[in-house]
Amino acid sequence: IWMLTNLSLNFIPMGQLAVNAIMAVLAEWNRKSELTADRAELLATQDEKPSYNILMKMAGAEDLGQVNLNEFFLQAQEYEDQKSLLDSLHKILNQVWMTHPYPVIRLQELKAWASSGAYQAILDGNYLKRDLMKEDVKEDLKGGYDYYRETLKTTDDPIFKFVNNVGEGLERAVGEIGEKLKDMFKDQ
């Protein structure tokens, strides 16, 4: 996809706009992949402390003996708690082209996952195994769509709330137009 987006600019009118959208989605995928890698690392080490230490180092801590892990968690929570429209816009614009999430975001996500029960379930052997899983691309895509749709519905981020409200409004409007068209053609 990366190569196709670079080649397509010469052939598609307004191609740069489409390419920028695709590149932003790919960067989001990269960031989500980093969170997955953090989870895999935790599963391999089965100890949260080294993961947190690495993330503190990535955030700029030279001497871990002089850094307070609880303060780092508070910083991560403070970043997460910023919910104004301007804060939300800054978060999006600061990350849109990044391939890795900020260490404080990674810390927050890893801690939330480790304490959610999903981590312990995997350690206990309760996870979907390859031989029990049917490969269905359509279902995978639907699952991804449903995940992001549900995330948008439950977020308290002002920008994503707005996007969700616009999407729901468009969905209702399209449904109503479809019903009116059905009624019009049904009578003919």
| CA distance readout (Å), 140 to 129, 143, 144 | 15, 5, 6
Residues 6+ apart with CB under 8 A from 49: none
Q: Write out pLDDT tens, residues 131-174.
A: 766 677 788 788 888 887 787 777 777 777 777 777 777 778 77
Q: Phi first, then psi: give them for residue 11, nearest 5 degrees.
A: -110, -15
Give residue for tokens 């019903």: 179
Q: Write out pLDDT tens, residues 92-115.
A: 788 888 889 988 889 889 999 999
15 pLDDT tier (thresholds 50, 70, 90):
low
- Measured between alpha carbons, how far is 100 from 48 in angstroms, rounded to an integer? 20
Phi-psi sector, 133: left (phi>0), alpha (psi -120 to 50), beta: beta
pTM across the whole model = 0.66
